[in-house]
Amino acid sequence: MNRLLIIILSLLIFIAFSIHVHAQKTDTGISEPPYIYWLDGKLHAKWVENGKLKHQENLNLDFPKKYLGLGVDTEVLTNSFLKTAGTTQKYSKVSNITVISDIHGQYDLMVELLKNQGVIDENLNWKYGKGHLVINGDILDRGDKVTEILWLAFKLEQQAIKAGGKLHYLLGNHELMVLTGDHRYMNQKYVQAAEIMGTSFTDLYGFNSVLGHWIRQCPTIVSINDLLFVHAGISPEFFNRGYDAKKVNKIFFDQILSPLPIKPNQEEDYLFLTGVDGPVWYRGYFEEGALTEQFIDETLAFFKTNRIIVGHTSFETVTTHFGGKIIGVDSSVKNGEYGEVLIIENGIKFRGTKSGERIKLEANTD
């Protein structure tokens, strides 16, 4: 009898625990900012407030200001569908550069870093004048405030242009994954939000959405002054294939992230550039003995640059490698506890901490 009672009690405890876990997983008391998309010649929006679907068709002019705090009207959103990014991404004579990478939905930490380092003001508006802010890939996945970061970056891009500055958002491996249907690192919140909105997560970043189209126009490789920016790095195989930045950006724009089928003569490029030795996945800079300094020098000479700035591989701070020729800017912002930015002022490089401190990179790696 006692044994039967124990079995029954165990079953009841198991059932109660299962119900509790299921309730946690299916909690729909979430909120998610609007996703705006183009349909039948008009802008429409869907979003979630406290677990409830909200939607609006044929958006009025002030919708982006009211619901997203963008400081722009719907004309800017409409025009974003008409713009295509250039494949040649080269900029010179830029005095001030700030670089952040691998944010992964950690909106609050990103805002704290950018505020304390003077890139944005207390109202989250551009404060950096003619400076350039580089987001070196991987806004998407992991954290639960991805959409907030995307709309903030979208707004800052518009404000930077008006001030004579620039925001660069580079493609990372997680942008590639999300846009090509690989959602293994997606926060559970977005599964629930998509279900409430009656759509799929893939469609939230579809070709007819503002955010989806915008991300697809992001470059993979950018040059600013004597710096080359790429999310993961340039592998020996990449180098041996003779890709230049313009060609890679074009293949990502026209083929990899295009709504059109891959052309037969581009399949090899597609497989390589989206693979482990491609520019958004490579990790060889940080694998002991994988590369020689001669290879680094040859790569720099090929791209006519002095340093390569990468994210993708996490450290506790901004780091330097190969005598300062490689700078890693993934400082584990994704964990939401601490992070840094790389700051370059008139060629002098600093680690910018979340408290606002600036620490000069060591002289022997500069």
Res 23: pLDDT: 37
Question: In this model, does residue 365 exceed pLDDT 60?
Answer: no
Question: In this model, does residue 330 exceed pLDDT 60?
Answer: yes
Closest CA to 152 of 121, 180, 131: 121
Region at 5 (left for phi over 0; alpha for psi -120 to 50; beta for the rest): alpha
In degrees rounded to 5, what are phi and psi of residue 287? Answer: -100, 120
DSSP string, 4-48: HHHHHHHHHHHHHHHHHHHHHHT-----EEEEEEEETTEEEEEEE
Question: In this model, does residue 352 exceed pLDDT 80?
Answer: yes
Q: Could you tell me where the beta strands, DSSP code E, fall in 22-174?
A: 32-39, 42-49, 52-56, 90-91, 96-100, 132-135, 166-169
User: Please, which pLDDT band fits residue 20 given cuts at 50, 70 and 90?
Assistant: very low
Q: Report how far Cα 121 is from the mean position of its chain's Cα atoms.
A: 21
Question: In this model, does residue 269 exceed pLDDT 80?
Answer: yes
Q: Which two tokens stand for residue 87?
A: 């494949």
Q: From CA 308, how far away is CA 325, in angstroms rounded?
A: 6
Res 204: pLDDT: 93
Closest CA to 342 of 115, 98, 106, 119: 98
Higher pLDDT, 70 or 166: 166
Q: What is the mean pLDDT of the chain?
A: 91
pLDDT digits 0-9 by tens, 156-189: 999 999 999 999 999 999 999 999 999 999 999 9
Res 74: pLDDT: 87
User: Please, which pLDDT band fits residue 21 given cuts at 50, 70 and 90?
Assistant: very low
Measured in Å, how far apart are the chain's first and last C-alpha atoms? Answer: 77
Give me the sign of the Cα torsion angle 78, 193, 153, 253.
negative
Name residue, tokens 């590639």: 176
**Average pLDDT of 314-320?**
97
Question: In this model, does residue 17 exceed pLDDT 70?
Answer: no
Sheet of 90-91: strand order equals: 90-91, 221-224, 227-230, 307-310, 326-328, 319-321
Name residue, tokens 């500069």: 366
- Degrees to nearest 5, angle at CA 77 with 218 and 125: 75
Question: In this model, does residue 252 exceed pLDDT 60?
Answer: yes
pTM for the model stands at 0.91
pLDDT digits 0-9 by tens, 111-142: 999 999 999 999 999 999 999 999 999 999 99
3-state secondary structure of 76: helix
**Average pLDDT of 80-86?**
83
Half-sphere exposure of 165 (CA within 13 A, CB side): 24
Please tell me the least confidently modeled range out of 22-31, 136-145, 342-351, 357-366.
Answer: 22-31
**Average pLDDT of 323-344?**
98
Q: Which two tokens stand for residue 101?
A: 């990478």
Give percent of the chain above pLDDT 70.
91
Question: In this model, does residue 41 exceed pLDDT 80?
Answer: yes
Please tell me the least confidently modeled range out of 21-25, 35-39, 178-182, 221-225.
Answer: 21-25
Res 263: pLDDT: 84
Closest CA to 144 of 195, 108, 184, 169: 108
Res 28: pLDDT: 63
